[in-house]
Amino acid sequence: MPDPDPKYPNPREEDIYAGDRRLSRPDSALPDWHIPDAKYRPIPIAWFAAAFLLQMVVLVVIFWVLIGESGWITMVLSSFATGALGKWTWERGMKDAGTGWKIATVIMLLLQLTFVCLGVAGRF
């Protein structure tokens, strides 16, 4: 006959074992064999957003620092900065991203560079 009033251990107060395996412990709701997925897995949108924001800041700084100089200097330095940022983004992991993300990143980098080039066009 089963025990009419079984004593179940409280997982908030004591460990619960199943054979030699601990199923629960007071400081965690997860069993000891379950390892939560806490590994950082960057995604292409993070690389894209980082490249977009960093390029925006760098190009604005270059534009304003060289506001009184020839437009060619601003264009060349902006192009070098965009190339270095593109290389950095690719090495971070964009090279392994999907084709759509690669195309979007290149278009975005070139589009922002184009805006700077158009902005300095009057200073040639």
Residue ranges per structural domain of the chain: 1-37, 44-123
The 10 Å CB-count burial string (b at 16+, else e) for 93-123 is ebeebeeebbebbeebbeebbeebeebbeee
Span 42-59, pLDDT tens digits: 789 999 999 999 999 999
How many whole angstroms separate alpha carbon 86 and alpha carbon 81?
Answer: 8
Q: Is the pTM of this model over 0.75?
A: no
pLDDT at 37 over 90: no
In Å, how far are 21, 63, 116, 118 from 123, measured between CA atoms?
74, 12, 12, 10
115 vs 40 pLDDT, higher one:
115
Q: According to the model, what pLDDT value does residue 72 have?
A: 95
Span 68-123, pLDDT tens digits: 999 999 999 999 999 999 999 999 989 989 999 999 999 999 999 999 999 999 88
How many whole angstroms separate alpha carbon 124 and alpha carbon 120?
Answer: 8
Contact between 66 and 123 (Cβ < 8 Å): no
